[in-house]
Structure 1
Amino acid sequence: MKSQPMKDDQHAPILRTAYFRFYEELNDFLPQGQRKVFFPYSFTGKPSVKDTVEAIGVPHTEIDLILVDGESVGFDFNLSGGEHISVYPVFEALDISPVIHLRAEPLRETKFIVDVNLGRLAQKLRLLGFDALYRNDFLDDEIVDISLKEKRIILTRDRGIFKFNNVTHGYWVRNHNTRKQLTEVINRLQLENSFHPFTRCSHCNQQLQPIDKEELIERYPQHVPRDTLKYFDKFWVCSGCDKIYWQGSHYQRIEKWIGKLTSREDAQKTTDTYNSR
């Protein structure tokens, strides 16, 4: 009996290939061989370009523009194979209004929620006056939920949080050093003109309120050393935790540090907070 020739499996999924190139800091998410060059990516079916770039390893929150064969497309564009796809990061200074802007509109008020690995960064942001919510026991789904409800930008060292499809505003912090992290976030999000220093408690994130010396002595007689009361006249109290702040010995040093951040120069020295009790 002669053997019959094997027939092709009519039901085998068709393997298709598209060619991707990622630009600027999006290359941070890629292995060395895929950086700054077009590379092939194979798939089956007709997946959306959003699902595909995330399968490659790039969070959608970092993307602002996708060109398919030179035409801008939305995240819901379906691939069919053979496309050349250019993927660009969030544009801050460049007007790309004529093409499809993929992220949500910029947040009117810059507020953050900071993951468990970035507690010191949260303190620095508060020192500059930014609303930076932080707790060392936040779970990823809690962070995403709060981000959406309160319109906060997620700052994280964990790329896994961007696997939540409903995340709209997030930034993966590249640096490990707190000082460099702060400079990175300021420069990347162009925050230089948004500082309101000495307006927020670096410990609990609540607003500071001015308080007269006489009222301070009456309400918080044990909170401030006598010498401080003798040499200083301006005081602030945290509306959340009742900590007292004044323009102590660190104040001028912090002002100089803030000046360097404003001019996009990295500070050589930073202080954790101004004087407080």
Structure 2
Amino acid sequence: MASARLRFHGELEDFLAPASRGRPIDYPVSRRASIKDVIEALGVPHPEVDAIRVDGTPVGFDSPLGSGDTVDVYPAGADLPAPVRHLRPPLPRPRRFLLDVHLGRLARYLRLLGVDCRYRNHAGDAELAARAEAEGRILLTRDRNLLKRRRIALGRFVRADDPFDQLAEVARAFDLGDELAPFTRCTRCNGRLVAVDKAAVDHRLEPLTRRYVDDFLQCDRCGQVYWHGSHVSRMQALVERLRRRLADGQT
């Protein structure tokens, strides 16, 4: 049977069966199919792909796969030979994320660091895809099938299991180092935190807080009140740990 040969580069191999990693894959060409359909049939979601070359020529997702084709598939950030054609749309600046139901702790970390991050713990796949498209957000998910939905242009399958490792992975993948602004967003709803007079929130404070704390922040969306307590030092330590991880080049 006629076939084409595909090779996936870099972290795109994460999606392949272990036996298929580190070597070309011969794929049967029995009917007319787009390269995008073939790539996803092999397990790689299209938002993870930034460039495709057929016999050295850059092509798009809709290019048909032909018998005898040699296809190279690259992730974002790969060192590409000229000429270059990027398939991933430009990332929003500042970054805007949408997280699926499996990433609640990561959502809290991102908000803590001041990153715009939408999350609802009961959002379905159709809602997530529609919101990602409508708001131009980067979808972060642990469901690779969700990431294959056609209307999702920007997204990443989060590889790490530990929430802090997930944070480091996302921060590196989307170059968040210069965008971190700790304690500027509400960890509950993603609203902005603004300074508020103590008198305006005095009736909501516990006696010891009222007595010893004078500076407060309040969410401009849900009204949650924040102040510097013992938890702040723990969060600052987390921020410094992340900065060290990024500086060391770890994921």
Q: TM-score range by the shorter chain?
A: over 0.9
**Using a 3 Å threshold, how does the CA distance of structure 1 residues 95 and 128 change in structure 2: closer, same or farther?**
farther
* Deviations 1:207-226 (CA, angstroms, capped at 9, x unpaired): 11110122222xxx0x2222
Q: Secondary structure at the match of 1:250?
A: helix
Q: Secondary structure at the match of 1:263?
A: helix
* Contact 2:141/2:147 (8 A) holds in 1: no
* Contact 1:133/1:205 (8 A) holds in 2: yes
Letter in 2 for 1:183: A
Cα offset for 1:255?
Answer: 1.7
Identify the residue that residue 244 of structure 2 maps to in structure 1.
263
Identify the residue that residue 7 of structure 1 maps to in structure 2.
none
Identify the residue that residue 229 of structure 1 maps to in structure 2.
210
Cα offset for 1:97?
Answer: 8.1
Residue 235 of structure 2 corresponds to residue 250 of structure 1: no
* Contact 1:18/1:40 (8 A) holds in 2: yes
* Deviations 1:123-161 (CA, angstroms, capped at 9, x unpaired): 111111112111121111110100011111111000111
Aligned match of 1:85 in 63, 71, 87? 71
What is the rounded CA distance, in whole Å, between the counterparts of 1:62 and 1:260 in structure 2? 27
Higher helix share: 2
Identify the residue that residue 180 of structure 1 maps to in structure 2.
165
Q: Aligned ranges for residues 119-130 of structure 1 at < 5 Å?
A: 119-130=104-115
Q: Secondary structure at the match of 2:171?
A: helix
* Contact 2:29/2:66 (8 A) holds in 1: no
Q: Aligned ranges for residues 66-85 of structure 1 at < 5 Å?
A: 66-85=52-71
* Contact 1:17/1:41 (8 A) holds in 2: yes
Identify the residue that residue 7 of structure 2 maps to in structure 1.
21
Identify the residue that residue 148 of structure 1 maps to in structure 2.
133
CA-based RMSD of the aligned residues comes to 1.9
Cα offset for 1:40?
Answer: 0.5
* Contact 2:4/2:68 (8 A) holds in 1: yes
Q: Secondary structure at the match of 2:230?
A: coil
Q: Secondary structure at the match of 2:156?
A: strand
The percentage of counterpart residues that share the same residue type is 40
- Relative contact order higher in (CA < 8 Å, ≥ 6 apart): 2
Q: Secondary structure at the match of 1:44?
A: coil
Cα offset for 1:246?
Answer: 0.6
Q: Secondary structure at the match of 1:264?
A: helix
Letter in 1 for 2:112: L
Cα offset for 1:265?
Answer: 5.1
Residue 86 of structure 2 corresponds to residue 105 of structure 1: no
Cα offset for 1:53?
Answer: 0.6
Extract unaligned runs of 5+ from structure 2. Answer: none
The count of residues paired between Structure 1 and Structure 2 equals: 247
- TM-score, normalisation: structure 1: 0.84
**Using a 3 Å threshold, how does the CA distance of structure 1 residues 193 and 264 change in structure 2: closer, same or farther?**
farther
Letter in 1 for 2:12: L
What is the rounded CA distance, in whole Å, between the counterparts of 1:197 and 1:97 in structure 2? 39
What is the rounded CA distance, in whole Å, between the counterparts of 2:172 and 2:206 in structure 1? 39
Cα offset for 1:233?
Answer: 2.1
What is the rounded CA distance, in whole Å, between the counterparts of 1:97 and 1:81 in structure 2? 24
Identify the residue that residue 207 of structure 1 maps to in structure 2.
192
* Contact 1:192/1:264 (8 A) holds in 2: no
Identify the residue that residue 100 of structure 2 maps to in structure 1.
115
Cα offset for 1:263?
Answer: 3.2
